[in-house]
Amino acid sequence: MSKTVVIDPVTRIEGHAKISIFLDDAGEVEDARFHVVEYRGFEKFCEGRPMWEMSGITARICGICPVSHLLCAAKTGDKILAVQIPPAGEKLRRLMNLAQITQSHALSFFHLSSPDFLLGWDSDPAQRNVFGLIAADPDLARSGIRLRQFGQQVIELLGAKKIHPAWAVPGGVRHPLSEEGRQWIRDRLPESRDTLYVALNLFKRLLDNLETEVKTFGEFPSLFMGLVGKNGEWEHYGGHIRFTDSQGNIVADNLSEDNYQDFIGESVEKWSYLKFPYYKPMGYPDGIYRVGPLARLNICSHFGTPEADRELQEYRDRAGGVATSSFFYHYARLIEILGALERIERLVEDPDIISPRTRAEAGINNLEGIGVSEAPRGTLFHHYLVDENGLIQKVNLIIATGNNNLAMNKTVTQIAKHYIHGDQIAEGMLNRVEAGIRCYDPCLSCSTHAAGQMPLQIELVAADGKVIKEVRRG
């Protein structure tokens, strides 16, 4: 008799979701599904709003990565205004996005994922969280908090608020960085870099004992998508779109977001509110691709900053070339923080970031605009259609986490097949299934996190729908 194991909710991710694991008559895993059970409706309720409001509205999609939507919406607005923003405006947007990458990756590594590495997959779930990490290694936990604080403070210095700053607008940004803010960043960069190296060196040591996780946490061939610069370097704001495969071959290059519908299709499944994007030339679901830190390090030729380039080479040596294990997302995040800090250091010395010429003024010149940017979790698309007055007629959003949807489902299935056999399932095995999702650091809606004892519901359901076993905690 077939059975279903349900993990609901999945913990230590941003938003609410559940995992269903389907067992066959022999008690072996047959399939697994990652369900996103929230419905937000941003694409629909933005209709009728002025285009000028979209940066502020869409930033409310998330309390952890609002900057991603803020900037992508502003870039879409640039297209509708048909303006080229001043150099200061672009550099300041880049600075904020680098700060966003830093704070978000620090949250993911130190707060959400490191409890598994440092406290153990089978440790008490009531302690396997940031509070348990504080008790076990207060210096590391404190450093992680400070690193995230650095990124948040840079965002506040630019936009006057850590969360949902009303700063980036169509045409540029509202104001430059102050001289005092620039000095604060200079003063805090050395500490942030030191913290990053502590975490990076720690994780590299841990990797020697995590071979099973590397081989089973989403180790499969796929395409990878993201932005690269004009010379193939790592990019997070401009550049063009590139797809590569698991051997490092370039599948498609020099793609523009303006034509994204030519190469990205969007499918749906009845069991999840999250869309399933795919690479159109390969069809659904064969056109599976991954985005985010892992993909960005796979598609770029080099990082473009000296320290991150040295770490990137070691990363590729450890991965055997192209990193195809989703467990390497954690490693890639740390390298991206390092590169972000190096680029922040460059930008704070650029005179443009204190220039008052930060915004181009214009009216509605195009009735359609498509913007793209790299959020911490991957490539983000905003697509708006407006009327002559700039009122939104239609919105399409392809969220970074959505781009990873097929890969997340494949990862859950792979982990479950490796660790789960029969209907007696240890808590640590279920945590490993959840941890496969945490590799991607999915942002499902907003900053919803479980603290203390992790709430979890597990059900074994027979083929006739009868619940034969149920376990709850939290």
Q: How confident is the model at residue 389 (pLDDT cuts 50, 70, 90)?
A: very high
CA–CA–CA angle 140, 160, 61 (5° rounding): 75
Task: Tell me if 309 sits within 8 A of 302, measured CB to CB.
Answer: yes
Lowest mean pLDDT among 95-99, 268-272, 300-304, 427-431: 427-431
pLDDT of residue 468: 43
Q: Identify the CA nearest to 427 among candidates 2, 7, 32, 3.
A: 7
Lowest mean pLDDT among 6-10, 345-349, 359-363, 460-464: 460-464
**Which helix (H) or strand (E) is 138 found in, with range?**
helix 138-159
Does residue 367 carry a pLDDT above 70? yes
Q: How confident is the model at residue 38 (pLDDT cuts 50, 70, 90)?
A: low
The pLDDT tens digits of the residues spanning 177-218 come to 999 999 999 999 999 999 999 999 999 999 989 999 999 999
Provide mean pLDDT across the span 437-441.
90
Write phi, then psi, for 116 (nearest 5 degrees): -70, -45
d(CA 161, CA 302): 33
The pLDDT tens digits of the residues spanning 234-259 come to 999 999 999 999 999 999 999 999 99
d(CA 19, CA 434): 8
Q: Identify the CA nearest to 319 among candidates 243, 224, 410.
A: 224
Task: Tell me if 411 sits within 8 A of 218, measured CB to CB.
Answer: yes
62 annotated among ligand-binding-site residues: yes
- Architecture of the 5-22+33-439 domain: Orthogonal Bundle (1.10)
**Which helix (H) or strand (E) is 179 found in, with range?**
helix 179-207
Provide mean pLDDT across the span 276-282.
96
Highest mean pLDDT among 116-130, 158-172, 441-455: 158-172
Mean pLDDT of the chain: 88
Q: Identify the CA nearest to 112 among candidates 474, 470, 434, 458.
A: 434
Cβ neighbours of residue 203 under 8 Å, at least 6 residues apart?
A: 109, 117, 330, 331, 334
Preceding amide of 9 cis, omega within 30 = yes
Task: Tell me if 302 sits within 8 A of 228, measured CB to CB.
Answer: no
Q: Identify the CA nearest to 150 among candidates 183, 118, 102.
A: 102
Percent of the residues in the chain that have a pLDDT greater than 90, as a whole number: 65
pLDDT of residue 52: 94
User: What DSSP string describes 388-437?
Assistant: TT-BEEEEEEE-HHHHTHHHHHHHHHHHHHHH-BSS---HHHHHHHHHHH
Task: Tell me if 10 sits within 8 A of 20, measured CB to CB.
Answer: no
Provide mean pLDDT across the span 55-81.
89
Write phi, then psi, for 398 (nearest 5 degrees): -115, 105
Which own/partner pairs from 117-121 qualify as long-range (CB within 8 Å, at least 24 positions apart)? 117/203, 117/206, 117/210, 117/330, 118/206, 120/428, 121/428, 121/431, 121/432, 121/435
446 annotated among ligand-binding-site residues: yes
Q: How confident is the model at residue 436 (pLDDT cuts 50, 70, 90)?
A: confident
């597990």: which residue's tokens?
458
Lowest mean pLDDT among 38-42, 267-271, 461-465: 461-465
470 annotated among ligand-binding-site residues: no
User: What pTM did the predictor assign?
Assistant: 0.91
Does residue 33 carry a pLDDT above 60? yes
pLDDT of residue 3: 57
